[in-house]
Structure 1
Amino acid sequence: MAKTILVIGTFDTKDDELEYLMARIKAQGGNVLSMDVSVLGDPTNPTDISKHDVVGAVGETIDGLIALGEEGEAFEKMSAGAALVTRRLFDEGKFDGMISLGGTMGTDLALDCASVLPIGVPKYIVSTVAGSPLIAADRMAADVQFILWAGGLYGLNPLCKSSLSQAAGAVLGAAKAVEPPSFDRPMIGMTSLGSSCLKYMKPLHAELTKRGYDIAVFHTTGMGGMAFERLAAEGAFACVMDFSQQELVNVLHGSVVSAGADRLTGAGRSGTPQLVAPGASDILDLAGWQEIPARFTDRGFHQHNRLIKNVAFNAEERRENAAAMVERLAEATGPTHFFVLEQGVEEWDREGQAAHDPEGLAAFVEEAKIKLAENDVAHDTLQCHINDPEFVAAVMSKFDAWVADGIVPAGKV
């Protein structure tokens, strides 16, 4: 069957571009469902969902939006309506993928629409600000795709057509090819910073697979943690193993490598059982282009590649990190267990390595123990490094106990 694509945009200002995009989707055998999110003007041709339908979903009228006199406030209401209509149409089986195009206004609205759709539904945003730091990590759906709308601010031209025609092929092709996630087996959500810095994911993956679980491992360099948090908050996982806290300490200390201020809260809000460890919490990630803040210039430094570099935290900062982790875990509504590691939290935190700091590690351990006890958060203190086999054994021992107690569902071998 032909796939139907929901096309969202301001048809008053971008009518030609949207009509071109829809024509390219249809030329490839797809169907189109059009949604107008304009405020001031009207499209040349009627759309399937009018702007009146959109604002009506939140009990507003177009005249009422105009009377506000504030474009930002008016478009926020339009965005809320668009998100509601998008989800309703999807639940009714009206489309197979969505695509939206726009500048900052259109992108802002499209982010809301994409965020209400389940993972696995193709969601594309053609934007003049794709890849921009204007787009906060916590606004993005876990599997949203961006395409830069080069030369697309106003009117059709060869550059614009190149972007739009590729976008048409991308969203329709994705709708045809996608294999929606099936959760026949319980899913474990795990975080890691890669197999050189944090090595536990390979042996844990093998043990969990053997027990009949699917495992999704998220790279904690901003976008990965954002996707992990969103899915954890939605209750997508049977259990989480959140062992890489790089993004949390990044946001605490001003790095742009961030998954948002809500890191380490998603599983707690949804009541998902969570096993937590302070992996990579001893170093601050910085973008390769970012200047090292003056207060960090006397620290150990590691240039990972041209995209990312690291500096080490001192003892006081590591105390702050420990307190912040426990503060978040103390708010959890589901089973929570923290592993305190007395011999290191990432591979560079070993004797002879760049980030090895026994004083800093001791400060973290001491503060963590105090805060965990004060907040009655269950924990174990392990006399090992996070990359040692003993850590994997301790994790699996606690996980198996939770399965035996019915806290985590049994796997399906």
Structure 2
Amino acid sequence: MEEKRRILVIGTGDTKADELLFMRERIEAVGGVAVMMDVSVLGDPPYRPEHDRHAVAKAAGRTVEAIIASGDENTAMTLMALGASRLARSLHDEGNIEGFIALGGTMGTDLALDVALALPLGVPKFVVSTIAYSHLVPPERIATDLMMILWAGGLYGLNSACKAVLSQACGAVVGAARAVVKPDRSRPRIGMSSLGKSCLQYMVTLKPELEKRGYEVIVFHTTGMGGRALEAIAAQKGFVAVLDFSLQELANQLTGSVVNSGTDRLENAGRQGIPQIVAPGAIDMVDFPTWQAVPSRFTERPYHAHNRLLASVTSDGATRQEIARAIGEKLATATGATAFILPVGGIQQWDQEGEPLHEPEALAAFVEEMRVRVPDNAELHEIAGHINDAAFSAKALEIFDRWVAEGIVPPGVTGRRAA
């Protein structure tokens, strides 16, 4: 028979014992094993968890009494989140859990998000929350492969609506733990950012070329959470190199759009010393929800509704100069090899002559500002053409191959079939 998957169940057992015990029962009913972790601060649960609140506090380098005396409830739960994250990661690394599920309102969700971030990609992560998918949750708090479900009817006690949600979540995390194909680390991984193929086309050339060289190329769709995933994996040193060629999320964040990846976009590869080649793909476009009014600063700018969810406007020259300054500041913090490719002929498909977003003056303002903002620790490579031209991809491969030859990027694993 298939080995049962062990699922870490986290919650405050002093206030949510009925719900957590129901979750344990449902996990076991579908062939899993529930490993209970109690993160209560003020009291013990009416059951014996495998990992009690004292063990969680110890993992944070504290005692429960010290945590209670540390200040307000926010401070206490932040310390418990630290302990729960460390303990959960240790349980995973020792092979004692294959999945994770947590239950909570705002306090429990706050803690659960830290635990999810502590676990690597490929470990099923499920959070049952009263604020699932809420804008209260900033992008940088969301783990790469986090799954969430709204804890409908779950504020106080069990009921039929609550049981329906909890049972789905328990079945989902057990099923995910059974079905997951964990990341293959046999080939060095490269992270690449892009938008849809109609906007940015370099991935069509670069991906097969890099695969021929023995690398796995993971392309991230930069519509908010794609860039978040790239940053999260980079923060855990999950790439041997990053080709970050679509920076629209950075432009979105600077201009106040919710379609962003957090304040640390374009920072984690550099912070971890991962070699990175960067280009300003699509920084001239700002996204926002189609169902919201156009932001006041963009009401006079060209507008395009991509679908009923996502719309875009273009930024003016002054805004693009602001974006260039931000790119330069972020590149300056890099501790690894960094190169910046500046395609002076355009940075997305529709900014070319004859296309609807062709604004040569605004593009020129960005190019001039970017030339002086690339920091001394980064190579500047200027090409006369467009980001979608063959010359751009050729320049990226030229830099990459040189870095491999110089030992900056490890060689790929050739002689095996690409996944």
Separation in 2, partners of 1:124, 1:387: 39
SS of 1:251's partner is helix
- In the aligned structure 1, how far is the partner of 2:53 from the partner of 2:197? 49
Cross-structure match for 2:182: 180
Give the secondary-structure state (helix, strand or coil) at the position aligned to 2:211. Answer: helix
Distance in 1, matches of 2:191 and 2:274, equals 10
1:32 — aligned with what? 34
Q: Distance in 1 between matches of 2:37 and 2:357?
A: 53
Work out which of the residue numbers 256, 266, 269 in structure 2 matches 1:267.
269
Q: What RMSD over aligned residues (CA atoms) do the two structures have, in Å?
A: 1.3
Q: Whole-Å Cα distance in 1 between the matches of residues 164 and 46 of structure 2? A: 23
CA deviation after TM superposition for structure 1 residue 291, in Å = 2.6
Q: Deviations over 1:68-109 (max 9, x none)?
A: 451111111111111111112222221111100111111100
User: Mean alpha-carbon deviation: is it higher for 80-89 or for 109-118?
Assistant: 80-89
Q: Residue in 1 aligned with 2:411?
A: 410
Letter in 1 for 2:408: I
Instruction: Say if 2:347 is the partner of 1:345.
Output: yes
Task: Give 1:288 shift.
Answer: 2.1
1:353 CA displacement: 2.3
Structure 1 residue 349: Cα displacement: 1.0
Match of 1:56, SS state, is helix
Equivalent in the alignment of 1:133: 135
Q: Distance in 1 between matches of 2:350 and 2:130?
A: 40
Q: Deviations over 1:36-90 (max 9, x none)?
A: 1112232111111111211122233333333445111111111111111111222
Match of 1:397? 398
Matched, 1:380 2:381: yes
Residue 67 of structure 2 aligns with which residue? 65
**TM score, norm. by length of structure 2:** 0.95
Q: CA deviation at 1:289?
A: 3.0
CA contact (8 A) 2:131 2:150 kept: yes
Q: How many residues align?
A: 412
* Counterpart contact for 2:287–2:311, Cα < 8 Å: yes
Unaligned runs of 5+ in 2: 415-419
The residue number in structure 1 matching 2:417 is none
Q: What corresponds to 2:8 in structure 1? A: 6
Structure 2 distance, partners of 1:287, 1:17, is 36
CA contact (8 A) 2:338 2:377 kept: no
TM-score with structure 1 setting the length: 0.97
1:287 to 286, 289, 292: 289
- Residue 72 of structure 1 aligns to a residue in which SS? helix
Q: Is the 8 A contact 2:6 2:96 kept in 1?
A: yes
The answer (yes or no) to whether the contact 1:301–1:354 under 8 Å persists in 2 is no
Aligned to 2:200: 198
Secondary structure (helix, strand or coil) at the match of 2:350 reads coil
Q: Say which is worse superposed, 289-298 or 155-164, in terms of deviation.
A: 289-298
Indicate conservation of the 8 Å contact 1:87/1:116, yes or no: yes
For 1:362, the equivalent position in structure 2 comes to 364
The superposition leaves residues 239-287 of structure 1 with CA deviations (integer Å, 9 ceiling, x where unpaired) of 1110000111111111111111111011101111111100000111112
SS at 2:101 equivalent: strand
| Equivalent residues in 2 for 1:112-191, closer than 5 Å | 112-191=114-193
For 1:375, the aligned partner's letter is D
Mapped to 1, the partners of 2:176 and 2:26 lie a distance apart of 15
Letter aligned with residue 398 of structure 2: S
Q: Which of 91, 99, 102 is residue 100 of structure 1 equivalent to?
A: 102
> How far does residue 386 in structure 1 lie from its aligned partner after superposition?
0.9
Q: Distance in 2 between matches of 1:136 and 1:86?
A: 22
SS in 2 for 1:348: helix
2:235 is the counterpart of 1:233: yes
1:2-22 deviation per Cα after TM superposition (whole angstroms, max 9, x unaligned)? 111100001111111111111
Inter-partner Cα distance in structure 1 for 2:65 and 2:245: 51
Amino acid at match of 2:67: L
Q: Would the aligned equivalents of 1:239 and 1:272 in 2 still touch at CA under 8 Å?
A: yes
CA distance in structure 1 between the aligned counterparts of 2:152 and 2:411, rounded to whole angstroms? 50
1:245-264 residue pairs with structure 2 within 5 A?
Answer: 245-264=247-266
Question: Which stretch of structure 1 is more off in the superposition, 32-41 or 356-365?
Answer: 32-41
> Which moves more between the two structures, 213-222 or 149-158?
149-158
1:345 CA displacement = 0.5
- Percent of residue pairs bearing the same amino acid type: 53
Cα drift, residue 365 of structure 1: 0.7
| Distance in 1 between residues matched to 2:252 and 2:223, nearest whole Å | 10
Q: 1:18 to 1:409 in 2, by over 3 A?
A: same
String of CA shifts for 1:153-196, please: whole Å, max 9, x gaps.
Answer: 11111111111111111111111111111211111100011111
5+ long unaligned stretches in structure 1: none
